[in-house]
Amino acid sequence: MVGLRQAAGMSQAKLAEELGKPASYVAKYELGERRLDAVELCVILRLTRADPRQFFVKLYDASPDKL
């Protein structure tokens, strides 16, 4: 997720502002201290202008075989 934000040329503070959240919100999910739900993820993909198909293909390819 850090890469998406950086590719969009956004700081944590700027993305947090766009989300209407404190900067700690972005920091926590980027550090893996917090998970995003599907709606939050879609909003972040939209704000960073990321290709959702490409994002999910990479996520799928990197996922483990077991939980």
Q: Which CATH number fits the domain that encloses residue 37?
A: 1.10.260.40
Residue 27 maps to a domain: yes
User: How far is 66 from 16, CA to CA, in rounded Å?
Assistant: 33
What confidence category does residue 17 fall into, taking pLDDT thresholds of 50, 70 and 90?
Answer: very high
pTM over 0.75: yes
pLDDT reported for residue 55: 96
Domain that holds residue 45: 2-62
Domain count, the chain: 1
User: How far is 45 from 34, CA to CA, in rounded Å?
Assistant: 17
Residue 12 maps to a domain: yes
User: How far is 67 from 44, CA to CA, in rounded Å?
Assistant: 25
**Burial class for 20, CB neighbours closer than 10 Å (0-12, 13-18, 19+):** exposed
Go through the chain and tell me how many residues it has. 67
